[in-house]
Amino acid sequence: MSTSAISTSTKPAKAVTQGAIGDVARGLSILLVLLVHCLVIFTYPGSGRPLDVPAFETSRVISTFIMPAFYFISGLSALGLASRSMRKITTSALRFILLAFVTQLLAAPLLLIANPGMDWLTLSVKIIRPLLTGKDFILVVTWFFVSLAGVQVLAWLYLRQSLWIKLGVVAIVIAAYLMTTLTGKTWFMMHTWAIGLLFFLAGRAYAKRPVINLPPLYALAVSVISLFVLTLFYDLNKGCAFSPTEVCDIPSGYPRFYIDVVYGQFGFMPYFLLCAVIGIIGLMTLSMCLSHTKYAPNIARIGKNTLVLLMINGVFVALSPSLLADIIPTLPDTWILSLALVAAQVALYPIMSKPINNLLHICSNWADKITHLVISKSPKPIQALLSK
């Protein structure tokens, strides 16, 4: 980045809104997700490529905080959550679940493209089972929609209800985490509820505070220091839920793809939380720095199209390991290849934004109609409860 893009003055920076910083952070987050998925595919054991150690370790560093960061950033725009009615929050959650389910059905042809020899029974199981379990989707990344639906409902209950309800929500997320930790099994992404709720509420609490607006160079310095500290701690988590030092294999259950969030869910939680917090500090301070540059509008625009880019990336993740398997070992430098593929996915979003946003609109309408139908057929006490 050129030094002309960032003011070198140590005077108080020009005011930037919390929303503007959040949009930049969201844009950086989705770019990091695209990058880490590319790095993982090209450094995954068995890819046939010589291991690019810097790229491999970079993917691990990013993975220690990027999903908690997504929940945190989602919480930044949730200040009005507590004031929403139960009907609205139910409709919103149902919209995300329907989006995951509809895209699962639409993505079915990708399975045949990636696995042309697959028999119809196996194909049917791979299509239908995720609709019943809420995981292992064809597009992979759509798990986040299911998770966010649950996190939003739990956050709403926590913010709106009595102390006993709050304690009940805490008990639910802890029980869901322990169940997955001890058994390796999960349904509807329940193993992500604890982490998701914690960082979602943290993001909302952060958004309620006065805007922290560090001068650009100070913000950049904090971000660099955070990244350095993260590189010191990211490898501490060895995958054991109840031991900070033992090395444990990842359970055979969900998820089966390699990202370090697996170690966070199945591993030693204090280490996971430590790295997540350090990473989010680095991400937010870098966003403060970039929000004062000429690059901010473009990054923010990417951030406002996160859902579109996730869908595009889902297709890439679903197809590339199979379709590129024969040529992956012969492709050029991992970094050049990964950055080029990130740029290609970003270039596609203006083309794909309209159909994907139309799909989201359809799911929203269906969710509203389903909620209305359920309420209209319910007894009056339930109707009154859902309207609160």
pLDDT in tens, 116-128: 888 889 889 999 9
Task: State the residue for tokens 């980045």.
Answer: 1
CA distance 56 to 39: 7
Would you say residue 86 has pLDDT above 60?
yes
Mean pLDDT across the stretch 342-365?
Answer: 94
Smallest CA-to-CA distance from 26 within 211, 203, 209 is with 203
Percent of the chain with pLDDT over 70: 89
Mean pLDDT across the stretch 121-148?
Answer: 90
Would you say residue 90 has pLDDT above 50?
yes
pLDDT confidence bin for 263, thresholds 50/70/90: very low
DSSP string, 314-374: HHHHHHHHHHTTTTGGGS--HHHHHHHHHHHHHHHHHHHHHHHHHHHHHHHHHHHHHHHHH
The pLDDT value recorded for residue 264 is 43
Would you say residue 46 has pLDDT above 90?
no
Tell me how many degrees the CA angle 302-305-307 measures, rounded to the nearest 5: 130
The pLDDT value recorded for residue 257 is 33
When mean pLDDT is compared across 101-105, 149-153, 243-247, 291-295, the lowest value belongs to: 243-247
Give the three-class secondary structure for 294: coil
Task: State the residue for tokens 């880019």.
Answer: 309
Smallest CA-to-CA distance from 205 within 274, 153, 159, 149 is with 159
The pLDDT value recorded for residue 160 is 83
Q: How far apart are the first and last CA of the chain?
A: 50
Return the structure tokens found at 284.
Answer: 């937010």
* Contacts of 308 by beta carbon, 8 Å cutoff, 6+ apart: 349, 352, 353, 356, 357
CA distance 67 to 69: 5
pLDDT, greater one: 64 or 202: 202
Cβ contact 77:304 at 8 Å: no
The pLDDT value recorded for residue 206 is 93
Mean pLDDT across the stretch 13-36?
Answer: 86
The pLDDT value recorded for residue 244 is 83
CA distance 383 to 376: 7
Mean pLDDT across the stretch 332-339?
Answer: 89
The pLDDT value recorded for residue 265 is 52
pLDDT confidence bin for 115, thresholds 50/70/90: confident
pLDDT confidence bin for 249, thresholds 50/70/90: low
Burial class (CB in 10 A: 0-12, 13-18, 19+), 127: middle
CA distance 62 to 230: 9
The pLDDT value recorded for residue 56 is 85
Cβ contact 41:114 at 8 Å: no
pLDDT confidence bin for 386, thresholds 50/70/90: low
79 CB-side CA count, 13 A: 8
Would you say residue 245 has pLDDT above 90?
no
Task: State the residue for tokens 């990344």.
Answer: 141
For the chain, the average pLDDT equals 85
Smallest CA-to-CA distance from 310 within 65, 77, 67, 83 is with 67
Mean pLDDT across the stretch 225-248?
Answer: 84
The pLDDT value recorded for residue 183 is 78
* Ranges assigned E (strand) in the chain: none
Tell me the C-alpha to C-alpha distance, in Å, between residue 16 and each of 140, 292, 304, 310, 321.
Answer: 35, 8, 17, 27, 41
When mean pLDDT is compared across 174-183, 299-308, 342-351, the lowest value belongs to: 174-183
The pLDDT value recorded for residue 25 is 96
CA distance 69 to 72: 5
pLDDT confidence bin for 12, thresholds 50/70/90: very low
The pLDDT value recorded for residue 333 is 86
* Contacts of 223 by beta carbon, 8 Å cutoff, 6+ apart: 281, 282, 283, 285, 286, 289
Q: What is the pLDDT of residues 183-202, one digit of tens each?
A: 778 889 888 898 899 999 99
CB atoms near residue 119 (< 10 Å)? 9
Specify the length of the chain in residues: 388
Mean pLDDT across the stretch 316-342?
Answer: 85
Return the structure tokens found at 370.
Answer: 């389903």
Would you say residue 143 has pLDDT above 70?
yes
Return the structure tokens found at 198.
Answer: 């914690």
